[in-house]
Amino acid sequence: MEKRYNSFTGYFREKYGCRLQKIVIDAGFTCPNRDGRVGTGGCTYCNNAAFHPNYSTPDKPVLQQIEEGIEFHKGRYRNTHDYLAYFQSFSNTYAPLEVLREFYGQALEHPSVRGIVVGTRPDCIDDEKLDYFQALSKDKVVIIEYGIESCYDKTLRRINRGHDFAAAVRAVEATAARGIFQGAHFIMGLPGESREELIGMAPIINELPLNTLKFHQLQIIKGTAMEREYERVPEDFISFTLDGYVDFFVDFLEYLRPDLYIERFAGEVPPRFVNHTPWGLIRNTELLRLLDKRLQERDTYQGRLYKK
């Protein structure tokens, strides 16, 4: 069945001639809204342990994490031989450039690693680091992945993000000006946002010079400040059922620029971490099957209602 949205699956195969599997790396970075530079406590929804595999821990050297990551993925992707080192945990440009060079250089020493994916915040990038990534991208795969989370400043303040949406716009535009491939991450259903406001993010995102997008439905993670907030004011949250979220995302896709790659549209946090928003242990492949089916049933597609 032909895809009705611009799927990121197969992009690497088309561009580089093979599948490139991400291996999650935890290099031990932190965030400026944790260490006091712009705030403390971190984002209210965040428990990083819920979002990365067991082999990825900062006490292990980068090359050890890569070797264990390759073993981890061999069972599922037996024909994959090329990898990307995905620096995912916390803000992976929140250090001086010489420190970043050391970590990224260690990953790129591995013969099976074709490049890096760097997850970070829009306020943790600068011209010096972007110039480095631009030079590196001439020989290696380089993807910068910005956690933007919401287009609304009221929400960013409420979740203790520590930066405004204008910071995201500046970072994305500066990255695009250097020709660096980049993506962004958004969370659907943050407190205080209505369904209409969530749909309203599509035309705002369309204006950003991004290549890929990741979306997650909000999941209330045990032990977080957001769990306590949910207990106080549950009426401020949209609680999507699985079917309801798939329908919502189809609505959202209709307004989204058709050339944007969709890398992920929902999350799969292990059930032991989730308190109030459980869908059970549903794999990404099943989520994508449900999305394909719903788009087919509604006879619609990404960008159907997009206006330049």
User: 216: Cβ–Cβ under 8 A, 6 or more apart, which residues?
Assistant: 185, 186, 187, 188, 264, 266, 267
Does residue 1 lie within any of the structural domains?
no
Q: Which helix (H) or strand (E) holds 269?
A: none
For residue 57, which amino acid is it?
A: T
**Residue numbers in the chain where pLDDT is lower than 70:** 1, 48-52, 77-78, 277, 280
Look up tokens 């620029």; give the residue: 257
In a domain, 124, yes or no: yes
State how far the Cα of 131 lies from the Cα of 41, in Å rounded to an integer. 31
Q: For residues 245 and 239, what is the distance between their CA atoms, to the nearest angstrom?
A: 9
**Residue 305 within a domain:** no
- Look up residue 212 and give its DSSP letter: E
281 burial level (CB within 10 Å; 0-12, 13-18, 19+):
exposed
- Do 254 and 304 form a contact (C-beta atoms < 8 A)? yes
The one-letter code for the residue type at 106 is Q
Q: How far apart are CA 162 and CA 90, in angstroms?
A: 14
CA distance 157 to 54: 31
Four-CA torsion 194, 236, 213, 249, nearest 10 degrees = -50
251-302 residue pLDDT tens:
999 999 999 999 999 987 777 788 776 786 788 888 999 999 999 999 999 9
Predicted local distance difference test score (pLDDT) of residue 72: 85
Q: How far apart are CA 37 and CA 34, in angstroms?
A: 8
Give residue 1's pLDDT.
54
As separate numbers, helices (DSSP H) first and strands (DSSP E) second, the chain gives 10, 7
Domain assignment of residue 153, given as a range: 11-298
Report CA dihedral (149, 154, 155, 157) to the nearest 10 degrees. 90
CATH number, domain containing residue 270? 3.20.20
Give the DSSP per-residue string, 227-268.
HHHHHH-GGGS----HHHHHHHHHHHHHHS-TTSEEEESS--
Residue 138 lies inside a defined structural domain of this protein? yes
Structural domains counted in the chain: 1
Q: Is residue 3 part of a domain?
A: no
In this prediction, residue 117 carries a pLDDT of: 98
How high is the pLDDT of residue 95?
A: 96
Give the gyration radius of the chain's Cα atoms. Answer: 19
Answer whether 165's CB lies under 8 Å from 173's CB.
no
pLDDT number for residue 15: 83
Find all residues with CB under 8 Å of 148, minimum gap 6, and list them.
Answer: 122, 165, 168, 184, 185, 186
Domain contains 306: no
